[in-house]
Structures are given as structure tokens and as C-alpha cells.
């Protein structure tokens, strides 16, 4: 990635605390030095509280300064409508805020984000179009680093997020064309946080009105359906405001909502 930093005096990294943006941030700090790198986290109702706390901890471990940017994608009708392009509007809001409010104030001459080589091949990543429109760099993808390579780097640098499961924003739990609202996002966040405290590390709580459809890895399905964990899961989900707790036997399905819509229109 050394070619990426040529001509860059001070770099901003769009930072979520996930393994991709964490490896990018660590690589930038190692190459440029901590005084020339700024981690930028977008904060809105779509950011889970656990993810926010984890991002702050990881940035501190790496030794990077981090700032928060309040984003208002929820004010955008196109975002709330929740079509397959929802991620474009979210990323466009973040990169617009960085462009207008951050670059000059912090003396940044470039911004980068954690798109990897696998992400480039996926059809369900509309946020990448926003990055291109705002001239945001993607050093991991440029270096040909796929997810497996990024994980290896994270482990070799002993980053606390090295084995962290992927954690898309909370809005991804709402089926396309059903409105994204702060109330739904808060329900999802409360339910997922409670389930993680029960020891379910990798999960999604999909919002289907009164029904919380819980996706878990196959290895967790049997114990999730067995007492006492079954009772605790139901209690946690109902406490978040749902009426029904359903464990999906299909297991984890990353990008399922978007890929289903794209396949339908193919």
C-alpha cells in the first residue's frame, strides 16, 4: 500500500471499527505516523452502541486520534425509503460531511475507506459509488487485499478486532422498501446488544414489524432453541419491543435483502 501514501501529508480514514477500516487505519499510522492520520467515525442512529464503543477502543489501541462526525442520512427521503441504494445515500452523507466540515479544519489532503478486494466484486455495495464520487481512496482494494488477507494482517498486528464478525449498520436489518426509522433502529440495537450479552457473538436481528427474525451461525442454532438460552433470547427480544422472536433455520445470510432484490430485477 506504500504507493497510496505518496503525496499524502495528512490522511483521514473513514473508520467503523470493523476489521477492514481498522487494518487500513493501522497501516496508515505505521506508514505515516500517528500525527498524520485521523480516524473519522460517522455517528447516527444506524450505528450500534456496541460498535461505537468497540471503534473507540480499537482506535485507541492503534494509537490514532479519532473524531466523530454526526451524520443525518435519516433526514434524506431516499435513505428512509430503504431501496437497494440505501448504502449509497448513507456513504454519500458521510463523505459529504467529511468534505465540507473536516478536510480544511484538520488539514487533510486525502480520505480513505476500508473497501477490500472482495468488496469490489460484490454487486450489493452501492456505497462504493459514493466513495468514487467523492474521490475517496481505497488502499486495501488497490493493493489486492481480500478479506482473508486483511484478517491475516489484523492478527499479525494483534488488533482487538482481528476475529470480529462483520457488522453492517443497523439499517441493513430492515427489509428493502420498508421505511428506516430511529425507532426500528433502536429496537434492533437493543435486541442485538442483549443477545450478545447472552454469548451470541455473531448474529443479526431482522426487523419484520412485530417479528424479530434472528439469524445465527449454524453452530448456534441448537443451543439457541434449547432452554435456558431459548427463554433468555425470547425475553431479550420482547423487551426490545417485538411481540415474537423467531430463529431462522437458514442461519446467517449476509446481504440477503439486497441480493434478493437485485436477483429479482436481474
For residue 189, pLDDT over 50 is answered with: yes
pTM: 0.91
What percent helix, strand, coil does the chain show, rounded to 5?
50, 15, 35
Average pLDDT value for residue range 117-127: 83
User: Are the beta carbons of 176 and 84 closer than 8 angstroms?
Assistant: yes
Band of the pLDDT at 171, cuts 50, 70, 90? very high
The grid cell for 76 is 434524506
> Would you identify the CATH topology of the domain 2-156?
Rossmann fold (3.40.50)
- Nearest CA to 253 out of 219, 214, 224, 222 is that of 214
DSSP state of 137: B
**170-265: CATH number:** 3.30.300
Q: Kindly state the average pLDDT of the residues 118-124.
A: 82
Q: Is the dihedral of CA 45, 74, 173, 57 positive or negative?
A: negative
**What is the tens place of the pLDDT at every residue in 56-112?**
999 999 999 999 999 999 999 999 999 999 999 999 999 999 987 899 999 999 999
> Considering the chain, what percentage of its residues have pLDDT values greater than 70?
93
- Whether the Cβ atoms of residue 17 and residue 55 lie closer than 8 Å to each other: yes
Cα 97 → chain centroid: 18
Nearest to 32 by CA among 54, 59, 6, 68: 6
* pLDDT (0 to 100) of residue 120: 86
Domain boundaries, the chain: 2-156, 170-265
Amino acid at each position: 500500500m506504500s504507493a497510496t501514501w505518496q503525496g499524502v501529508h495528512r490522511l483521514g480514514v473513514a473508520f467503523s471499527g470493523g476489521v477492514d477500516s481498522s487494518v487500513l487505519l493501522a497501516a496508515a499510522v505505521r506508514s505515516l505516523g500517528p500525527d498524520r492520520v485521523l480516524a473519522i467515525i460517522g455517528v447516527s442512529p444506524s450505528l450500534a452502541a456496541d460498535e461505537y464503543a468497540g471503534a473507540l477502543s480499537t482506535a485507541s489501541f492503534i494509537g490514532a486520534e479519532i473524531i466523530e462526525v454526526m451524520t443525518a442520512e435519516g433526514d434524506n427521503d431516499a435513505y428512509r425509503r430503504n431501496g437497494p441504494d440505501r448504502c449509497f445515500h448513507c456513504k454519500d452523507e458521510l463523505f459529504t460531511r467529511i468534505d465540507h466540515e473536516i478536510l480544511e479544519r484538520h488539514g487533510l489532503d486525502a480520505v480513505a475507506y476500508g473497501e477490500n478486494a472482495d468488496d469490489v466484486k460484490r454487486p450489493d455495495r452501492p456505497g462504493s459509488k459514493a466513495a468514487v464520487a467523492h474521490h475517496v481512496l481505497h488502499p486495501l482494494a488497490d493493493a489486492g487485499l481480500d478479506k482473508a488477507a486483511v484478517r491475516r494482517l489484523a492478527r499479525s498486528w494483534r488488533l482487538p478486532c482481528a476475529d470480529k464478525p462483520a457488522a453492517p449498520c443497523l439499517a441493513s436489518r430492515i427489509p428493502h422498501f420498508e421505511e428506516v426509522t430511529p425507532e426500528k433502529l433502536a429496537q434492533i440495537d437493543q435486541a442485538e446488544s442483549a443477545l450478545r450479552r447472552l454469548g451470541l457473538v455473531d448474529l443479526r436481528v431482522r426487523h419484520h414489524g412485530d417479528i424479530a427474525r434472528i439469524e445465527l451461525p449454524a453452530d448456534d442454532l441448537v443451543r439457541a432453541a434449547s432452554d435456558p438460552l431459548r427463554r433468555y433470547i425470547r425475553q431479550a427480544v420482547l423487551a426490545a419491543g417485538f411481540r415474537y422472536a423467531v430463529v431462522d433455520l437458514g442461519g446467517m445470510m449476509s446481504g440477503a435483502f439486497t441480493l434478493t432484490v437485485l436477483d429479482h430485477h436481474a
